[in-house]
Amino acid sequence: MTILTPAFFVALLALKDKLDQFNLKGETEMAEVSTILNWTLLSECPIPDDINPLLVDGETPVAAYKTFRDTAVFTSLRLIVRDAQGLRGKKIEIYSLPYSSINMWSSENAGSFLDMNAELELWTRAGHIKVNLGKGIDIRRFDRIIGDAILKSR
């Protein structure tokens, strides 16, 4: 027979307060998260040669996509985005997002007439990242790439 102590009831009330605070009473409302990065991938392209010096031992490029001025490369370990800056694009910033830092992701396929872009959202330790995909890019391929990288490594 279990004896319910006053400490148990205090802990139970504290848990109820936390649930009330986070609006978890059966509602499906998600907290608003600000996006720290937003990229638009226009079309698939050949994997650029200048990505090879960035790869570590055992890392292989899987797919590359054109952005407005740059490229995004999905590898076996991370997403690398090359961001050319300035008028001539001489200054280049490299973003490297290891798949191990992704806590959750969602994908949304393109709709019909007015909603032509697919979207991929990544919730990471660094923050929320949104990737818009141009017409014709296979969103489910991204699900497979990220799923393979994250779920098979755990």
Return the C-alpha torsion angle 121, 124, 127, 128, nearest 10: 0
- DSSP 3-state of 84: strand
Show me where the domains of the chain are located.
36-48+58-151
The whole-number average pLDDT for the span 109-119 is 75
User: How high is the pLDDT of residue 142?
Assistant: 82
Give me the count of residues in the chain: 154
Confidence of residue 113 (pLDDT cuts 50, 70, 90): low
Confidence of residue 13 (pLDDT cuts 50, 70, 90): low
d(CA 33, CA 123): 9
Higher pLDDT, 25 or 40: 40
Phi, psi angle pair for 76, to nearest 5°:
-70, -15
Q: What class does CATH assign to 36-48+58-151?
A: mainly beta
Handedness of CA 92, 121, 24, 15 (dihedral sign): negative
User: How high is the pLDDT of residue 1?
Assistant: 52
Question: For residue range 80-108, what is the model confidence (pLDDT) as tens digits?
Answer: 998 878 777 778 888 899 998 999 999 88
